[in-house]
Amino acid sequence: MGALGIVCLVIGALIAIIYGLQLLIMAFRESILWGLGYLFIPLVSLLFVIVHWGEAKSPFLKGFMALPFYLCGIFLMDKA
C-alpha cells in the first residue's frame, strides 16, 4: 500500500506543479512585476488570482484536483 500512496502523492504533485506553472506564466504575461512578485513575495500569487479571476479561475480551480490525490496518498502511506 505504501507504493500506491507514493504514486498518489506524485500524481498530486504533478497536477499542482502543472497548474501552478500555468498561473506563473499568466502572471509573467501580465507584467514582469506580477511574475516576480508571484515568485518571491508571499500571498502575491493569491492576490494575482483574485485580481485576475476571469482568466486565472480555470487553472486555479483545476489545481484543486491534486487535493484528493494528496489525501489518498497520505491515507495509504499511513496504513503502510
Residues 8, 60, 10, CA angle at the centre, nearest 5°?
15
Give the model's pLDDT for residue 1: 79
Domain tally, the chain: 1
The 10 Å Cβ neighbour count of residue 42 is: 7
Give the model's pLDDT for residue 37: 97
Helix (H) or strand (E) holding 80: none
Q: Which residues of the chain are modeled with pLDDT < 50?
A: none
Instruction: Tell me the per-residue pLDDT of 7-16, one tens digit each, with 9 for 90 and over.
Output: 999 999 999 9
Give the model's pLDDT for residue 64: 95
Domain residues for 49?
2-79
Q: Which of 18, 35, 37 is nearest to 27 (CA)?
A: 35
Does residue 13 contact residue 20 with C-beta atoms inside 8 Å? no
Give the model's pLDDT for residue 80: 58
